[in-house]
């Protein structure tokens, strides 16, 4: 896969030299190129922004500079049939999810445009959109100072899904259907006693069936506590009697084929 990242702070992306993404680059599984947007300016001050039409606070990134950068970076190399997909991190984008990461991992060429200030002139997405797929993506409901940190998140989430990048693919399999739609259970390692805190006895028992049940119970409890939206989205057909008992204790039940909570839900 090829990934290009365009930013006015290319040094911000140096983290992509490290760890699993860095290794994927060195082994040739990933062709990752980081560019300085100012390389496409033509004035003495290397200007990338200007004041917003219609007034208001802050500055907006100029379409001419971004257009020149993206036209060049997204142009298919001779004999390269893959269509580049532009990703623009922005708090007003569609929420970036694991499913989206899985879809993007199937693309041949991703380009990330990291905006700063009040964002990029809206005509850039329109211009690029005439020839390429363009997706504005949000990594969560908070505001950053620019798209760079979000680009790091997207690149890492996608690259670890590329074949051969994660050392033990069993980890990916377990992750994807370990407990569909639930948060992970808590994990422990040696020593069995630390600072007066014990590892739950069942995990030392060697009883595989009891371990699996305990993990499932803890995953359900955590999810109900932290992410009730995920519990409400569970398919009742994926829940066994023990699951339903745990959920009932937490005030959830199946009503009209849906997992729901509240007065009607309590048996």
Residues in contact with ligand JA8 by the rule CB under 6 A: 89-91, 115-116, 119, 138-139, 142-144, 146-147, 150
Enter the tokens of residue 6. Answer: 């365009």
Q: Are 96 and 154 contacting, i.e. CB atoms less than 8 angstroms apart?
A: yes
Q: In the complex, what is the shortest distance from the CB of residue 142 to ligand JA8, in angstroms, rounded to a whole number?
A: 6
Q: Which is nearer to ligand JA8, 66 or 252 (CB)?
A: 66
Nearer Cβ to ligand JA8 (53/142): 142
Taking the complex as a whole, the smallest distance from the CB of residue 88 to ligand JA8 amounts, in Å, to 8
Nearer to ligand JA8, 90 or 253 (CB): 90
Helix axes 19-26, 148-159, angle to 10 degrees: 70
For ligand JA8, which is the closer residue by CB, 139 or 161?
A: 139
Cβ closer to ligand JA8: 89 or 239?
A: 89
Return d(Cα 213, Cα 208) in angstroms, integer.
9
- State whether residue 165 is helix, strand or coil: coil
Please check whether residue 63 is in contact with residue 105, taking contact to mean a CB–CB distance below 8 angstroms: no
Minimum CB–partner distance for residue 136 and ligand JA8 (Å): 9
CB of 56 to ligand JA8, least distance (A): 14
Please choose, from the candidates 134, 3, 121, 99, the residue with its C-alpha nearest in 3D space to the C-alpha of residue 52: 121
Shortest gap between Cβ of 87 and ligand JA8 (angstroms)?
11
Computed from CA positions of residues 87, 93, 98, 100, in that sequence, does the dihedral angle turn out positive or negative? negative
């Amino acid at each position: 896969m090829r990934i290009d990242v365009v930013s006015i702070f290319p040094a911000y992306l140096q983290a992509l030299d490290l760890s699993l993404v860095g290794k994927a680059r060195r082994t040739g599984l990933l062709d990752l190129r980081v560019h300085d947007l100012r390389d496409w300016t033509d004035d003495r001050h290397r200007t990338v922004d200007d004041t917003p039409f219609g007034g208001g606070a802050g500055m907006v990134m100029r379409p001419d500079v971004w257009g020149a950068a993206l036209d060049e970076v997204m142009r298919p190399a001779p004999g390269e049939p893959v269509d580049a997909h532009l990703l623009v991190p922005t708090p007003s984008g569609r929420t970036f999810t694991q499913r989206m990461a899985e879809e993007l991992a199937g693309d041949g060429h991703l380009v990330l445009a990291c905006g700063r200030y009040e964002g990029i002139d809206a005509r850039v997405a329109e211009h690029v959109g005439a020839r390429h797929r363009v997706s504005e993506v949000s990594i969560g409901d908070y505001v950053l100072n620019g798209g760079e940190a979000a680009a790091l998140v997207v690149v890492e989430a996608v690259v670890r899904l590329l074949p051969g990048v994660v050392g033990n693919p069993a980890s990916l399999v377990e992750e994807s259907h370990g407990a569909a739609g639930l948060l992970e259970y808590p994990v422990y390692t040696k020593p069995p006693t630390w600072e007066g805190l014990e590892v739950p006895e069942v995990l030392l028992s060697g009883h595989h069936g009891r371990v699996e049940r305990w993990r499932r119970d803890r995953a359900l409890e955590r999810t109900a506590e932290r992410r009730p939206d995920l519990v409400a989205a569970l398919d009742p057909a994926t829940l066994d009697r023990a699951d339903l008992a745990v959920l009932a204790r937490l005030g959830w039940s199946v009503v009209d084929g849906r997992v729901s909570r509240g007065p009607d839900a309590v048996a």
